[in-house]
C-alpha cells in the first residue's frame, strides 16, 4: 500500500517494503528535524568527514585511469594466450569499488578499496606478475607493494577476482548470485566486499539520508574508541549495516532523527539476536553461511550483524563480552545525549566529544611491541594487533576482572635503549576489577593470561616464518597516575598535574616506574592532593602509602624483562621500613626464578641477552629490610610478590616464590626450532579493601 505523508519534500515515501520487519514509524520529518540536520552537517564539517569536490573529481580521474589500465592489461594477456580477435576486442575487464568510497562516506585523504574483475582466461598469477610490472611503469604510481597497494595521490588497495565468463561486460552487476558458480573460494571472498556494499545501498530507503547518518555514526564511533574490527569492536561495514537497519525501521526520517533512533534501537537491542537487512537466501552453491541452527560455533557469537549478500557471514565474530559491554554502554550514553539535543538542551558537538580513555579506568595493561627496523615493525605490529583480542578474551575470563577495554589507537613507545635503533609501538587496555565483599586482601595473578597471549604471537610469527631476532613483545600493569610516564602529553590533556616525587622516567631499560599505591577513589579524575601519597619502590621492592579507607591495587610484578625492565630507585630507609603494613605490598626484586608453576606461564623472548644468575640479595629478608641498595646491575630484573598467593595457587608455587635459587629451566616445555631464551613474565596484583 503506498504511503502518503505530509511534510518536507526532502524525502520521498518508500515505494517498497524494506527489511525483514515492518517499519516502526513512517512519520515524515518536521521543520525542527530539518534545522537539526543542518546543524549536524555544520558540526561534522570541521572533522573533515566531507571531501572537497576537487578531491572527489581527482579520485574519479585516477580510478578511470586505473580502469583503462586494467582493460589494456587484459587485452595484452588475451593476445599472449592466442584468443580469437573477436573475443579480444570485447574482452572487457573492470575496476569496481567497495567499502567507504563505494558507500559514499569516505573522509578526506581516505584510501580506496577496489576490485579488479577479469575474465576466466586471466589467472591470479598474471595479476601478481604482469599487472604488477605494468603498474610499476606508470609515472603516477608512487609506491607499489606485492600485495598490490597502489599510491597515486591516494592509496588504492586492489583485490582480484576471476569470473567464469569469457568477457566482462560494462554493465555487469556483481549482486547476481549466479556469478559465484564455478569460482574458487579466493575469488568469492574478493567479490564479497563489493556484493555486500552494493546490497546495502539497495536495501536503504533513501541513500542520502543513510550516508549523512553513517558519517555521523562513524565519526562518533571513532571519537569514542569503538571503531576497530580487528580489536573486537565494529568495523566500517558493520556500522553501515546498523545504520542501514535504522533507516529501514524509520524509512521517512532524515539524519537528525536517524542518529537519535540509531541509539534508541541499539541501546535496547536484545543481543545476541542478529541484525539482518534481508532474509537470507539459499543459492545451493554449498558455501558456508552464518546459521546457528546448523553451525554450533555460530551460537557463541555475541553481537551478530549478518551481511546481506550470499554467502551470508557475521561481520562481528571478533566481538567479545567486554567489547560488547563497552559498545552497549556507549549506545546508552549516545541516546542520552541525543535526547538532550532533540530537546535543545545540548548541541551536536557534545555527541562528538572524545571521552578521555586514560581517565576512565584506574588500572591499565600496557602492551609494547618492538622491532629493529621500520619494515619489521609494520609486520610485527600488524601481527600483535591482530591477536590483542585473544588477550582481551583471556582477561575477561579471569574471575576477578569485570571488563577489559582496549583502546584501538596505538602510540609510539619510549625507546628501550636510546643508542640503539629500535621501533616501538604500544597499546593500552583499561581494566575494571570486580568489587570484593568478603575478602579484605585479594591476590590477582594475570601471568597466565599474558603468557598465553605472548606465546600465541611468537608461535604464529615463527610458524609463518615472519619472526626475526629482536622482535619483542612485552606487557606491564600501570595505574592511571603512571600513564604520563609512557604516553605523549597530547593524549593526556585532561589530566591534572602529577606529583613526580620519587619518579623519573628515562628509557624503559633504565627506568623507575612508580608502582606505589594509588588513591583509587570513585572519581573519574584523580586528584594530586588525594589521601594517598606516592612513594617509589625501595630496594627490596616494597612500597608504602598512607592509610586510606579507599580500596587500593598495587602492581606486584612488571616484567617481560626485555622491554619492561624495572630498576629500583634509591630511597631513605625510613620510608621503606614499613613494608609490611596492611596498606602496602612487600615485594622482592630478585632474580627471575623460573620454577614450574601450576599453569604453563612461559613467555618466549628473543634477545641477545643471555640468562644469568643475578648477584645475591643484600639482606636476608627483602620484604622487611630497611636497607637501601643501588640499582641492580643484572639486565634481568624481576619484581616478585611475597604476599599471600592466589587462592587457587598450589603450596608448591608459594614455596618457589620465596626461594632465591638460581634460574632453573629444566621443567619448561620444549621450544620451537631456533632456541629462544625463556623469561618468566608475571603481572600480579593485590586488591586491598
Task: Provide the annotated binding site.
Answer: 98-100, 107, 111-113, 157, 218, 227, 236-237
Q: DSSP H helical segments within 224-342, as ranges?
A: 236-249, 255-267, 321-342
Neighbour-count burial of 278, counting CB atoms closer than 10 A to its CB (0-12 exposed, 13-18 middle, 19+ buried): middle
* 118 close to 164: Cβ distance less than 8 angstroms: no
- Single out the residue of 445, 403, 347 nearest to residue 680, CA to CA: 445
Angle at 242 between CA 237 and CA 244, to 5 degrees: 90
DSSP string, 168-232: B-TT--TT-GGGGTT--HHHHHHHHHHHHHHHHHHSSS-HHHHHHHHHHHHHHHHHTT-B-TTTT
Radius of gyration of the chain (CA): 29
How many whole angstroms from its chain centre is CA 213?
A: 24
Cell of 570: 634509591
3-state secondary structure of 485: helix
Secondary structure element (H or E) that encloses residue 85, with its range: helix 85-89
Sheet containing 552-555, strands listed edge to edge, beginning at the edge strand earlier in sequence: 441-445, 684-688, 552-555
Binding residues for Mg(2+): 111, 113, 157
Q: What is the maximal distance between C-alpha atoms in the chain?
A: 94
| Residues 40, 46: Cα–Cα separation, whole Å | 11
Cα–Cα distance between 625 and 577 in angstroms, integer?
Answer: 7
DSSP one-letter code for 351? T
Provide the annotated binding site for ATP.
98-100, 107, 111-113, 157, 218, 227, 236-237
Cell numbers that stand for 119 in this block: 575474465
**Is 488 buried (19+), middle (13-18) or exposed (0-12) by CB count in 10 A?**
exposed
Catalytic residue ranges: 100, 111, 113, 157, 218, 227
**Euclidean distance between CA atoms 657 and 147, whole angstroms:** 49
> What is the spatial distance between Cα 644 and Cα 631, in angstroms, rounded to a whole number?
27
User: What are the CA-CA distances from residue 345 to residues 177, 217, 220, 283, 340 (Å)?
Assistant: 49, 20, 19, 51, 5
Mapping DSSP to helix (H, G, I), strand (E, B) and coil, where does residue 10 land? coil
Angstrom distance (rounded) from CA 34 to CA 428: 41
The span from the CA of 202 to the CA of 194, in Å, is: 12
Helix (H, G, I), strand (E, B), or coil: what is residue 334?
A: helix
d(C-alpha 581, C-alpha 145), whole Å: 60
Residue with grid cell 530539518, as numbered in its chain? 34
| Rounded Cα distance, 483 and 501, in Å | 15
- Where do we find the cell 580510478? 63
Q: Could you tell me how many residues make up the chain?
A: 689
Amino acid at each position: 500500500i503506498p504511503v502518503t505523508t505530509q511534510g518536507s519534500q526532502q524525502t520521498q515515501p518508500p515505494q517498497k517494503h524494506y527489511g525483514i520487519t515492518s517499519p516502526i514509524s513512517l512519520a515524515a520529518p518536521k521543520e525542527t528535524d530539518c534545522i537539526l540536520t543542518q546543524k549536524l552537517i555544520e558540526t561534522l564539517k570541521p572533522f573533515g568527514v566531507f571531501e572537497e569536490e576537487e578531491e572527489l573529481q581527482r579520485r574519479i580521474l585516477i580510478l578511470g585511469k586505473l580502469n583503462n589500465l586494467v582493460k589494456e592489461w587484459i587485452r595484452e594477456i588475451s593476445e599472449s594466450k592466442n584468443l580469437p580477435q573477436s573475443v579480444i576486442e570485447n574482452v572487457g575487464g573492470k575496476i569496481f569499488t567497495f567499502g567507504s568510497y563505494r558507500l559514499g562516506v569516505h573522509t578526506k585523504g581516505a584510501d580506496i578499496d577496489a576490485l579488479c574483475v577479469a575474465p576466466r582466461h586471466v589467472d591470479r598469477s598474471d595479476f601478481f606478475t604482469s599487472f604488477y610490472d605494468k603498474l610499476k611503469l606508470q609515472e603516477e604510481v608512487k609506491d607499489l607493494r606485492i600485495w598490490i597497494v597502489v599510491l597515486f595521490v591516494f592509496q588504492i588497495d586492489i583485490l582480484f577476482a576471476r569470473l567464469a565468463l569469457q568477457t566482462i561486460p560494462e554493465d555487469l552487476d556483481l549482486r547476481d548470485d549466479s556469478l559465484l558458480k564455478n569460482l574458487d573460494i579466493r575469488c568469492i571472498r574478493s567479490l564479497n566486499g563489493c556484493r555486500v556494499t552494493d546490497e546495502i545501498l539497495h536495501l536503504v530507503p533513501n541513500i542520502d539520508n543513510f550516508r549523512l547518518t553513517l558519517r555521523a555514526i562513524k565519526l562518533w564511533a571513532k571519537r569514542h574508541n569503538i571503531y576497530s574490527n580487528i580489536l573486537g569492536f565494529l568495523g566500517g561495514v558493520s556500522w553501515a549495516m546498523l545504520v542501514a537497519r535504522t533507516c529501514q525501521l524509520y524509512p521517512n526520517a532524515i539524519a537528525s532523527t536517524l542518529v537519535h533512533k540509531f541509539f534508541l534501537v541499539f541501546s535496547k537491542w536484545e543481543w545476541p539476536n542478529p541484525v539482518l537487512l534481508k532474509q537470507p537466501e539459499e543459492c545451493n552453491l554449498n558455501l558456508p553461511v552464518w546459521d546457528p541452527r546448523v553451525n554450533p560455533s555460530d551460537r557463541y557469537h555475541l553481537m551478530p550483524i549478518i551481511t546481506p549478500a550470499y554467502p551470508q557471514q557475521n561481520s562481528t565474530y571478533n566481538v567479545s563480552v567486554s567489547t560488547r559491554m563497552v559498545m552497549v554502554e556507549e549506545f546508552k550514553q549516545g541516546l542520552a545525549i541525543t535526547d538532550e539535543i532533540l530537546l535543545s538542551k545540548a548541541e551536536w558537538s557534545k555527541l562528538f566529544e572524545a571521552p578521555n580513555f586514560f581517565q576512565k579506568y584506574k588500572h591499565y595493561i600496557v602492551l609494547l611491541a618492538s622491532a629493529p627496523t621500520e619494515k619489521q615493525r609494520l609486520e610485527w605490529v600488524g601481527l600483535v594487533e591482530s591477536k590483542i583480542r585473544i588477550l582481551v578474551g583471556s582477561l575477561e575470563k579471569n574471575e576477578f576482572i569485570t571488563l577489559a577495554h582496549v583502546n584501538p589507537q596505538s602510540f609510539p613507545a619510549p625507546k628501550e635503549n636510546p643508542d640503539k635503533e629500535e621501533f616501538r609501538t604500544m597499546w593500552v587496555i583499561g581494566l575494571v576489577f570486580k568489587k570484593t565483599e568478603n575478602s579484605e586482601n585479594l591476590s590477582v595473578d594475570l601471568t597466565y593470561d599474558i603468557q598465553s597471549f605472548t606465546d600465541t604471537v611468537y608461535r604464529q610469527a615463527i610458524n609463518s616464518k615472519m619472526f626475526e631476532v629482536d622482535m619483542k613483545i612485552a606487557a606491564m600493569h600501570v595505574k592511571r597516575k603512571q600513564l604520563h610516564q609512557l604516553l605523549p602529553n597530547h593524549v593526556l590533556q585532561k589530566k591534572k598535574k602529577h606529583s613526580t616525587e620519587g619518579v623519573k622516567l628515562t628509557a624503559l631499560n633504565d627506568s623507575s616506574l612508580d608502582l606505589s599505591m594509588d588513591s583509587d577513589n570513585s572519581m573519574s579524575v584523580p586528584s594530586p592532593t588525594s589521601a594517598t601519597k606516592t612513594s617509589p619502590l625501595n630496594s627490596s621492592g616494597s612500597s608504602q602509602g598512607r592509610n586510606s579507607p579507599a580500596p587500593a591495587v598495587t602492581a606486584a610484578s612488571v616484567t617481560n624483562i626485555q622491554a619492561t625492565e624495572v630498576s629500583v630507585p634509591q630511597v631513605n630507609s625510613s620510608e621503606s621500613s614499613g613494608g609490611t603494613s596492611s596498606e602496602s605490598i612487600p615485594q622482592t626484586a630478585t632474580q627471575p626464578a623460573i620454577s614450574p608453576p601450576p599453569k604453563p606461564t612461559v613467555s618466549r623472548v628473543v634477545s641477545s641477552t643471555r640468562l644469568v644468575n643475578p648477584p645475591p640479595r643484600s639482606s636476608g629478608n627483602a620484604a622487611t629490610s630497611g636497607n637501601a641498595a643501588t640499582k641492580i646491575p643484572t639486565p634481568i630484573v624481576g619484581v616478585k610478590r611475597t604476599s599471600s598467593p592466589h587462592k587457587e595457587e598450589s603450596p608448591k608455587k608459594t614455596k618457589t616464590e620465596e626461594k632465591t635459587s638460581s634460574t632453573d629451566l629444566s621443567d619448561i616445555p620444549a621450544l620451537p626450532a631456533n632456541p629462544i631464551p625463556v623469561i618468566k613474565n608475571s603481572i600480579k596484583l593485590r586488591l586491598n579493601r
